[in-house]
C-alpha cells in the first residue's frame, strides 16, 4: 500500500485556537480542543472534488489538512484499521462492514447519491432483460456496482448465468468501450461520460438511482458513498469535526453549482479532463447529508444488500451508534 498523492492545505482560520500540532493524525497541542493536522483519505471520485476546492482556497494560517488519494478500498481500509486517517471517503457498505467488524468509526456524512449507469454500444440493448445471453463488464467482484447490477438483473427477471459478468477496473472498462472492445458495461461517473464522449455509439441504458427508486419507492435515496470518522478523533475534537463538515458541505455545494470553475481544480489534481468532468456532473448526484440525517436511507440500502449479499455489509445491519450524531 502506498500513497498516490499527498496534499497539505491550510484549513480554516477558525480552527486556529492553539497553534500547530505534531503532524500526527488528530494529534493534540497542549490543552487545545483543535488538532494540528487533519488527515483525510479519498479516491479519485466525485466526493473528492470538494476537497480540491478547499485546497485551492487554503488559508495562510490554520489547521493543516493532509489529503491522501488512494487507489483501492483495501489500501483505505488498512489505513483506517491502523488509525492513520481521521476522515475517509468510502462506499457506505464498506463503512458498515468495517464497523460490524469492530473498527471504531462512525458514518459522518453521505455525499454521493447515484453515479452508476448501464452503458451499451448495442442497439438491441434497451433494458436489463436485453442483456440475456450477453457479456456485461462491471467493476471489482463484490463491489457496489457488482451487487447492484446483479440485484437489478434479478429484479428484471433474469437468473444467475443468464448474463456473463466480467470484472475489470472501471477506467480499463471505459477505455475498452471507447475502443469498441466492450459492448455493455456498468460505469460510474466520470468514466461513463468519458466513454460517451469518445464513442458515438455509446448510450446510457439505465440509471441506477432511477432503478433503485423504481424498486424501493420514488423518494428512496441511493447512498453510495460518504465519509467515516475515527471515533477517537470525533470525541477529542468535536469542534474540528463540525467545522470540517461545514466547510466540506459548502465546497460540495459550490462544486455542484459551478462545475466549470471546479473542473480545472479536478483536472490538475485528479487528471480528469475538464470537459469530461463538467459533462459528468449532469449525471452525478452529490448532496451533503449528515450521517444521522442519512440513517433511514442508509439502513434501507444496507438491508437490501444484506438480503442479497450478507458479506457486503459484514453480516448484519449496523446499529444506531454507526451514525455520527449531529
Cβ–Cβ < 8 Å for 1, 49? no
Window from 19-33, 89-103, 115-129, 144-158 with minimum mean pLDDT:
19-33
All 3 cell numbers of residue 274? 475538464
Window from 47-61, 124-138, 201-215 with minimum mean pLDDT:
47-61
Distance between CA atoms of residues 109 and 48, nearest Å: 13
Which structural domains are found in the chain, ordered by start? 6-113+223-322 (3.40.190.10), 116-216 (3.40.190.10)
The overall average pLDDT reported for the chain is 87
- Average pLDDT, stretch 162-183? 96
Q: How many residues in total does the chain contain?
A: 326
- Average pLDDT, stretch 136-156? 91
- Return the DSSP state at 162: S
* pLDDT at 161 > cutoff 50: yes
* pLDDT at 103 > cutoff 60: yes
* pLDDT at 152 > cutoff 70: yes
What is the full DSSP assignment across 23-38? SSTT-B-TT-SSBSEE
Residue 16: predicted pLDDT: 31
- Average pLDDT, stretch 152-170? 95
Residue 142: predicted pLDDT: 78
Residue 65: predicted pLDDT: 85
pTM reported for the whole predicted model: 0.86
**Vertex 165: Cα angle to 160 and 171 (nearest 5):** 150
Q: Which residue carries 467488524 as its cell?
A: 101
**What is the rounded end-to-end Cα distance, in angstroms, of the chain?**
33
* pLDDT at 46 > cutoff 50: yes
Report how far Cα 136 is from the mean position of its chain's Cα atoms: 22
Q: Which of 231, 237, 266, 256 is nearest to 102 (CA)?
A: 231
Distance between CA atoms of residues 213 and 231, nearest Å: 32
Half-sphere exposure (Cβ direction) of 110: Cα atoms closer than 13 Å: 28
Q: Which of 167, 197, 211 is nearest to 185 (CA)?
A: 167
**Vertex 25: Cα angle to 23 and 30 (nearest 5):** 65
SS3 string, 4-15, reads CCEEEEEECHHH
What is the full DSSP assignment across 183-227? SEEEEETTHHHHHHHH-TT-EEEEEHHHHHHHHH-TT-----EEE
Residue 32: predicted pLDDT: 56
CA distances from 4 to 1, 42, 68 (A): 9, 10, 7
Distance between CA atoms of residues 257 and 217, nearest Å: 27
Report how far Cα 254 is from the mean position of its chain's Cα atoms: 18
Q: Which residue carries 489547521 as its cell?
A: 63
Residue 20: predicted pLDDT: 34
pLDDT tens for residues 233-275? 999 999 989 989 999 999 999 999 999 999 999 999 888 999 9
Residue 177: predicted pLDDT: 98
Distance between CA atoms of residues 27 and 20, nearest Å: 9
Amino acid at each position: 500500500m502506498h500513497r498516490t498523492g499527498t496534499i497539505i492545505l491550510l484549513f480554516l482560520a477558525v480552527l486556529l485556537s492553539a497553534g500547530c500540532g505534531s503532524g500526527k493524525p488528530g494529534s493534540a497541542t497542549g490543552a487545545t480542543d483543535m488538532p494540528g493536522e487533519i488527515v483525510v483519505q479519498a479516491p479519485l471520485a466525485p466526493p473528492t472534488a470538494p476537497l480540491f476546492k478547499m485546497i485551492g482556497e487554503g488559508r495562510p494560517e490554520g489547521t493543516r489538512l493532509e489529503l491522501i488519494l488512494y487507489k483501492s478500498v483495501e489500501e483505505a481500509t488498512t489505513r483506517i484499521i491502523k488509525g492513520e486517517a481521521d476522515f475517509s471517503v468510502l462506499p457506505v457498505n464498506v463503512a458498515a462492514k468495517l464497523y460490524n467488524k469492530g473498527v471504531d468509526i462512525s458514518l459522518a456524512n453521505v455525499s454521493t447519491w447515484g453515479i452508476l449507469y448501464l452503458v451499451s454500444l448495442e442497439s438491441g440493448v434497451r433494458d436489463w432483460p436485453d442483456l440475456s445471453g450477453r457479456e456485461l463488464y462491471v467493476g471489482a467482484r463484490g463491489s457496489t456496482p457488482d451487487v447492484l447490477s446483479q440485484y437489478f438483473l434479478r429484479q428484471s427477471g433474469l437468473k444467475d448465468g443468464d448474463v456473463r459478468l466480467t470484472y475489470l477496473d472501471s477506467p480499463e472498462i471505459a477505455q475498452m468501450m471507447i475502443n469498441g472492445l466492450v459492448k455493455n458495461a456498468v460505469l460510474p461517473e466520470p468514466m461513463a461520460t468519458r466513454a460517451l464522449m469518445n464513442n458515438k455509439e455509446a448510450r446510457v441504458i439505465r440509471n441506477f438511482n432511477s432503478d433503485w427508486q423504481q424498486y424501493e419507492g420514488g423518494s428512496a435515496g441511493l447512498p453510495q458513498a460518504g465519509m467515516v470518522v475515527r471515533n477517537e478523533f470525533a470525541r477529542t475534537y468535536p469542534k474540528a469535526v463540525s467545522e470540517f463538515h461545514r466547510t466540506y458541505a459548502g465546497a460540495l455545494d459550490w462544486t455542484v453549482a459551478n462545475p466549470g470553475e471546479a473542473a480545472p481544480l479536478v483536472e490538475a489534481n485528479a487528471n480528469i479532463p475538464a470537459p469530461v468532468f463538467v459533462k459528468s456532473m449532469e449525471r452525478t448526484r452529490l448532496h451533503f447529508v449528515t450521517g444521522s440525517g442519512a440513517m433511514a436511507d442508509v439502513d434501507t440500502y444496507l438491508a437490501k444488500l444484506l438480503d442479497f449479499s450478507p458479506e457486503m455489509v459484514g453480516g448484519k445491519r449496523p446499529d444506531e451508534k454507526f451514525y455520527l450524531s449531529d
